[in-house]
Structure formats: C-alpha cells, structure tokens
Amino acid sequence: MPRGVSPLSKRARDDVLRIARADPELEPLLQDPRAQLFVEPNFTDRRASKESDEVVVALYDNRRRNAVVAVIDRLQRRVLSVETTPVQFQLSEAERREAERLAGKDQRVQRFLRQRAANQLTRLYFPPAATGATAGNRHAIVFLRPSTSERRYAVVDLTEDRVVDVLDPAALTGR
C-alpha cells in the first residue's frame, strides 16, 4: 500500500498545488479559489508501489459544471491523470464561507435574523427540479438557526453567486 495516508500538511498541500498549477488543464481551474474541493493522499490505489506518494486533487469546474479529479505523484512531481466526473463532492471550506457570506447579505435573511446570530450550518444541496434551479450548478443550503425553535434555509447557487430562495420549515417538510 502507498505511504502517506495521513492528512497532508499545509506545506505538502501547497507543494501538490504547485505541481497541479503547472498542468495546462488544471491551472485555469485553480485560479478560482473556490474550485479546490480537497487535496488528500491516494491511499485507495492498491496497485501503487510502497514508494508511491500519490495525491488526489478534486476541483470543481464552474465553466463546464462538473468535477475534475487529478492524481498527482509528489515524488515524480507530475500529474498522472485528470478525469472529469458527474459526481458532486461535498462543499469545500471556501464554498461554505462564500455561501454563508451570500446568505448573510440577502435581505430576507437579514429580516428573519433581526440582528441575531445566524448559528449557520451549511451543506451541499440538490434543489428539486421544480424550483427552476439551473441544472449542473453547485448549490449550498445554509441552515439559519438563531434560536432553538426558529429556522430558515437559504438556498445559494454557488455557480452564479446568488441566493435563489429562502425557505421556511414548511417548504422542506410539506407541512
């Protein structure tokens, strides 16, 4: 099994991203700070040698609206493969922060919160087709929880940088 299955240090992550930026296919994607979803050791490839030091980099391509997965060999300092996939990976920390920032600027959210702390919880969201959400865009749902009994949910289109809806609990439960 390949070595290096523990999380990468910041220095190691930065080194992997430098290698990725040298690749003409990955470089334009990495210009968007929210494109980077994760950088993790590739410990699932059992065919790799014990000397292997591969890292998986997952990105989101907003232009093509799909995920891109690259495998990078840190020892050889080269990109081994780049694949696109229809899979939606979980939100990156940068995407969560951006969704929360956009939700906080929305007037409906501000009216609901009335100067109270939002106590946010943010997750990847797949809006129902009936909402008219743009297929293929990345969406987040920001749970707004200013008290133990009050809730609203801001649906954020991260591809278009906008809040598309603010829902009350009945909208999600049908009650």
57-69: per-residue pLDDT in tens?
999 888 888 889 9
* 72 burial via Cβ count (<10 Å: 0-12, 13-18, 19+): buried
At residue 1, the pLDDT reads 40
Which residue would you say has higher pLDDT here, 116 or 129? 116
pTM of the model: 0.79
Q: Sorting pLDDT into bands at 50, 70 and 90, what band is 80?
A: very high
10-85 CATH fold: Nuclear Transport Factor 2; Chain: A, (3.10.450)
On the question of pLDDT at 161 being above 80, the answer is yes
The domain over range 93-173 is classified in CATH as 3.10.450.40: yes
User: Where in the chain are all domains bearing CATH 3.10.450.40?
Assistant: 93-173
**Other CB atoms closer than 10 Å to residue 39's CB: what's the count?**
21
C-alpha 44/C-alpha 29 separation (Å) is: 25
pLDDT reported for residue 40? 87
C-beta separation of 160 from 134 below 8 A: yes
